[in-house]
């Protein structure tokens, strides 16, 4: 396998300089030594995994830094290698990327049946998804390596224990493939989906495969015949093309179209066979379109100009659907080599041939990357895991529409958005006072879904205020958060009272008393919970957005509802006293030392917590549990 990598580097000698090739070889030797003796589920040596990722990246002409980092990406996580080791041998840039990939560590799935629709499982891994997305804001190459890492893992999914295959495959489709699509790595997206589909939805996969067997048009032989026809037509009309290629539509995409659009009627799919024409200039795209339309029969309403109106991820191309003399439908995409380059690599194109793109496309890539970073910033600012999850699923990965204000400002929204979403996207106050809207000069109801190209004017009134019904109308998580925030403010006192009652009852169960409120506020503000004071946390408990256990742990650092493993020495020396055969541990709140004046607190689990005598938390506990030691 290593020969394949180095032969590939030789063939790419114009891309990888000699010094880079030497460093890649050194990284491979280093990783091989570190992973020596480690095995994958398949029984192969572990080094096969980073080696395959490096080969895939090199084949796609990613820069040498990305290739080297991919070879080393598991060394910190799975071996005794440290970040300092990587810095000494390969430099800070590579160490930062490897460390970035390491931080996106997988949370164990455990041996249980997992369904992706289960919000508890989603929530269990939300911090992982958050890290995954935030990592791209620092260096998108971290994400690139992680996506290729996932691609190789799903390629060997058959070796993974059966109880983990289902969720892992669904997660690959619903999270990783969508990230790949969003940042423009369309090839990676398709390959991840193809590999994961049979494991994520086995029954649906079998049904689709059975249906495709009945369709004569779904045949690789037809692809080659049609490529020859298209080439002949372009040559006869002297169109300067660089490449003509074709493929069968990938299976998950077919399934989704059948499921959501055509009730599993394969006869209504126009793009089972798709072809791509690459030309050198934009003008040649439209010339080629004219020639193709004169050779085959174009299907009315099936011509799309993504050159004039690019997709959100920067995708540009002409799409047309045609039928041949035998009545078979197929799709043709026409684009320039630069458009194809961006289509294949999206934002990741910055780490290919950095100077190869024209100023126009290079500038657009920078704008796309800046917009992505704004979305990542929003995720970083969301403290609540549930809200972050909704934002990721509802906005970052959703299909988008483009609407306009009466002054011509373009506003991008998730598909299915309403005037309420539009109003809150313009300004919070406009959303809070929205009473109606005009779309294309016509009055609409607030539940009307907006379409691409709509011109939207919000009608506001000082007497209009959000109601709980608005939550059913709003599509965007941003609008829903602001509506919820307004509604919570209207009922805050009631929620605080309910939360306080729940919290005090919880404290009583564990023989704890509520400390001074000022002390609580300062402790909560410096803790990791997403609230700045006691009342805010109590209001969240009152609305069941937050649990009393988390608040107790924020205030009482030593608190635990579970029995913890404690030291059980035959004899322990503490100050001048000797404790024999007693389970004990040191309290974290006051950090006692042997020379301090000490006292003990017996927990409900019969574990002795050692405190300093002057520990302020002891004044808020049950005196009967305090013992001299």
Run means of pLDDT, 10 residues per run, the chain, 629 residues: 64 65 90 91 90 89 89 91 92 90 60 43 63 71 91 92 83 86 84 93 88 79 90 92 90 80 67 90 93 92 86 80 88 90 68 49 60 70 67 69 79 86 91 91 90 86 88 87 83 86 88 81 78 86 85 78 46 42 71 82 74 81 76
CA–CA gap between residue 276 and residue 333 (Å, rounded): 5
- 507: tokens are 């404290």
Catalytic residue annotation: 77-78
- Region for 123 from its dihedrals, namely left if φ exceeds 0, alpha if ψ lies in -120 to 50, beta otherwise: alpha
What class is the 2-199 domain?
mainly alpha
Q: Does domain 398-474 have CATH number 3.40.50.920?
A: no
CA–CA gap between residue 478 and residue 475 (Å, rounded): 9
Which has the closest alpha carbon to 396: 341, 478, 456, 481? 478
| Confidence at residue 385, expressed as pLDDT on a 0 to 100 scale | 65
**Are 480 and 469 spatial neighbours (Cβ–Cβ below 8 Å)?**
no
| Confidence at residue 354, expressed as pLDDT on a 0 to 100 scale | 45
Chain mean position to CA 432: 30
**Are 471 and 480 spatial neighbours (Cβ–Cβ below 8 Å)?**
yes
**Are 401 and 415 spatial neighbours (Cβ–Cβ below 8 Å)?**
yes
pTM: 0.63
| Confidence at residue 507, expressed as pLDDT on a 0 to 100 scale | 87
Phi, psi of 295 (to 5 degrees): -90, -40
Range(s) within the chain of domains with CATH label 1.10.3210.10: 2-199
**Are 396 and 375 spatial neighbours (Cβ–Cβ below 8 Å)?**
yes
Buried b (16+ CB within 10 A) or exposed e, 425-454: bbeeeebbbbeebebeeeebebeeebeeeb
Range(s) within the chain of domains with CATH label 3.30.460.10: 210-351
CA–CA gap between residue 463 and residue 435 (Å, rounded): 9
**Are 54 and 151 spatial neighbours (Cβ–Cβ below 8 Å)?**
no
| Confidence at residue 112, expressed as pLDDT on a 0 to 100 scale | 35
Range(s) within the chain of domains with CATH label 3.10.20.30: 398-474
CATH of 210-351, one of 3.40.50.9100, 3.30.460.10, 3.90.1150.10, 2.40.37.20: 3.30.460.10
Torsion angle, alpha carbons of 181, 185, 190, 195, to 10? -110
Chain mean position to CA 328: 38
Contacts of 162 (CB under 8 A, 6+ apart): none
Q: Are strands 273-279 and 329-336 parallel, antiparallel or unpaired?
A: parallel
CA–CA gap between residue 608 and residue 584 (Å, rounded): 4
């Amino acid at each position: 396998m290593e020969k394949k990598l180095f032969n590939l580097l030789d063939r790419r000698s114009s891309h990888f300089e000699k010094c880079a090739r030497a460093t890649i070889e050194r990284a491979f030797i280093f990783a091989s030594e570190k992973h020596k003796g480690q095995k994958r589920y398949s029984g192969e040596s572990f080094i096969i995994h980073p080696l395959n990722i490096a080969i895939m990246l090199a084949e796609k002409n990613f820069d040498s830094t990305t290739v080297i980092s991919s070879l080393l990406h598991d060394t910190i996580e799975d071996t005794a290698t440290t970040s300092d080791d990587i810095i000494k041998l390969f430099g800070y840039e590579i160490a930062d990327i490897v460390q970035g990939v390491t931080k996106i560590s997988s949370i164990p799935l455990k041996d249980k049946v997992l369904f992706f629709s289960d919000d508890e499982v989603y929530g269990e891994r939300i911090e992982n998804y958050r890290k995954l997305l935030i990592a791209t804001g620092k260096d998108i190459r971290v994400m690139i390596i992680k996506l290729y890492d996932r691609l190789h893992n799903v390629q060997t999914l058959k070796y993974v224990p059966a109880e983990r295959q289902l969720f892992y495959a669904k997660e690959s489709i619903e999270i990783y493939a969508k990230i790949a699509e969003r940042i423009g790595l369309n090839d990676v997206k398709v390959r991840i989906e193809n590999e994961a589909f049979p494991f994520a939805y086995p029954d649906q996969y079998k049904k689709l495969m059975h249906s495709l067997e009945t369709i004569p048009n779904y045949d690789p032989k037809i692809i080659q015949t049609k490529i020859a026809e298209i080439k002949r037509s372009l040559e006869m009309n002297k169109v300067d093309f660089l490449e003509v290629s074709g493929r069968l539509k990938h299976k998950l995409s077919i399934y989704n179209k059948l499921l959501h659009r055509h009730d599993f009627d394969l006869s209504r799919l126009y793009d089972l066979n798709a072809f791509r024409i690459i030309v050198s200039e934009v003008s040649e795209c439209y010339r080629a379109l004219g020639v193709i339309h004169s050779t085959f029969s174009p299907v009315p309403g099936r011509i799309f100009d993504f050159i004039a109106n690019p997709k959100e991820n920067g995708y540009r191309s002409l799409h047309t659907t045609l039928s041949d003399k035998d009545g078979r439908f197929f799709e043709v995409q026409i684009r320039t080599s630069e458009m194809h380059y961006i289509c294949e690599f999206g934002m990741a194109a910055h780490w290919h041939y950095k100077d190869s793109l024209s100023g126009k496309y290079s500038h657009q890539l920078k704008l796309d990357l800046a917009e992505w970073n704004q979305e990542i910033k929003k995720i970083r600012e969301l403290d609540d895991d549930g809200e972050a999850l909704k934002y990721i699923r509802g906005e970052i990965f959703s299909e988008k529409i483009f609407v306009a204000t009466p002054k011509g400002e373009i506003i991008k929204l998730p598909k299915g958005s309403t005037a309420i979403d539009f109003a809150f996207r313009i300004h919070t106050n406009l959303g809070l006072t929205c009473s109606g809207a005009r779309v294309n000069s016509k009055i609409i109801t607030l539940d009307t879904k907006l379409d691409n190209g709509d011109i939207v004017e919000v009608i506001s009134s000082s007497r209009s205020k959000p109601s709980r019904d608005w939550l059913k109308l709003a599509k965007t998580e941003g609008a829903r958060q602001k509506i919820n925030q307004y509604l919570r403010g209207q009922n805050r006192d009631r929620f605080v009272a309910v939360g306080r009652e729940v919290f005090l009852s919880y404290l009583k169960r564990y023989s704890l008393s509520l400390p001074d409120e000022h002390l609580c506020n300062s402790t909560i503000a410096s803790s990791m919970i997403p609230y700045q004071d006691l009342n805010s946390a109590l209001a969240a408990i009152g609305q069941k957005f937050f649990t009393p256990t988390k608040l107790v742990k924020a205030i009482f650092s030593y608190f635990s509802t579970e029995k913890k493993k404690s030291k059980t020495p035959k004899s322990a020396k503490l100050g001048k006293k000797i404790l024999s055969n007693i389970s004990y541990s040191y309290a974290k709140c006051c950090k006692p030392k042997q020379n301090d004046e000490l006292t003990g607190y017996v927990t409900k689990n019969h574990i002795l917590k050692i405190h300093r005598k002057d520990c302020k938390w002891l004044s808020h506990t049950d005196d009967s549990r305090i013992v001299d030691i």
